[in-house]
Chains A and B, each alone.
Chain A
Amino acid sequence: MKPQLNLSMKILVVDDFATMRKIVRNILKQIGFTNIVEADDGANALSVIKQEKIDFVVTDWNMPNMTGLELLKNIRATETAKDLPVLMVTAEGLAENVVDAVKAGVDNYIVKPFTAETVQEKIEQILAKRSANS
């Protein structure tokens, strides 16, 4: 059974490209989410996570300065944020990348290009798994 999505949960979208942040934001709004914030790199994302109550993170993999994988590791190492659900967006679904991300504790990933349906499906899968494990 599909979980009931909490459409007011606060979602942080992290990507160095404004275009992709806008695409993801548009998709999340299309799904029905209303509380969306953005960060243009990993360091800013960590700052937002420490200052605001974020419920879910959608992050790009390939970013300068701090990659999505490094951001994920930082989140998992931050006591107040370590349990945050993280969905990784990547242009490269290479097996070694996926293994690295899973080892670092990613909840799920999406390979570009993607549709709105795929994003919704992945978010639902993550929340259902989290709900089943809690």
Chain B
Amino acid sequence: MNVEFINPFLSATIGVLKTMAFTEVQAGKPFLKKDKISRGDVSGVVGITGPPNGSMSLTFSKDCIVEIVSNMLGETFQEVNDDIKDAVGELSNMISGTARNDLGNKGYSFKTSIPTVVSGPSHEIRHMCKAPTIAIPFNTKAGPFVVEISFENGAPTGG
């Protein structure tokens, strides 16, 4: 997959969490994800309209997201409740929007949908297309999370 296309999502994730949640994150090695089962407890999914069409998702472990949202809102959270789900939606919105800006500056034109949030043990993430999903694992002091990106016909190869 075109690195030029993955990097905006990676840097958007790092930047948004640092600025809005005062959370430092470390990116791991991207991998090809072949199933729909989430690698965490709560996910935000954003549809992306191009061409090419695709989607991105953020999946957080419970410990990770309660720490992030506690930092964001200055309140202490313990469980994945409605406030946490709303925050996951907003984080998905900000990260996809920031990546879209970056791609827009490189000549790509995308629209992003309003995020949907899914939660529960082993919940499924339904990407908008059947193309392979690239997953980027991240780690924080409070636990891991994963960003997934999937685009029809792979990523675009030029701007």
Interface residues of A (CB under 8 A from B): 16-20, 22-23, 26, 62, 64, 90-94, 111-115
Partner of A22, one of B73, B89, B93, B114: B73
Name the one of B19, B69, B98, B114 contacting A62, with C-beta atoms under 8 angstroms: B114
User: In the assembly, what is the distance between CA of A22 and CA of B20, in Å?
Assistant: 12
Binary contact track B122-148/A, C-beta < 8 Å → 1, others 0? 000000000000000000000000000
**A16 CA to B19 CA in the complex, in Å?**
21
Number of interface residues of B (CB under 8 A): 23
Given contacts A91-B94, A113-B16, A113-B20, whether A26 and B74 have CB atoms under 8 Å apart is yes
Q: How distant is the Cα of A49 from the Cα of B112 in the complex, in angstroms?
A: 29
Quick check: is B97 within 8 A (CB to CB) of the other chain? yes
Jot down 12 A-B pairs with beta carbons below 8 A, ordered by A.
Answer: A17-B86, A17-B89, A17-B90, A19-B73, A19-B87, A20-B90, A23-B72, A62-B93, A91-B100, A92-B100, A92-B101, A113-B94
- Chain B residues within CB distance 8 Å of chain A: 15-16, 19-20, 69, 72-74, 83, 86-87, 89-90, 93-94, 96-98, 100-101, 104, 112, 114
The total of interchain contacts (Cβ-Cβ below 8 angstroms) comes to 59
**A contacts with B: majority SS:** loop
CA distance A62 to B73 in the complex (A): 21
CB pair A112 B83 closer than 8 Å: no
Closest A residue by C-beta to B73: A22
Q: Does B19 lie within 8 Å of A18, measured CB to CB?
A: no
Q: Which of A17, A22, A112, A115 contacts B97 (CB 8 A)?
A: A112
> Complex formed: what's the CA distance from A77 to B91 in Å?
33
The residues of A that contact B94 with a CB separation of less than 8 Å are 91, 112-113
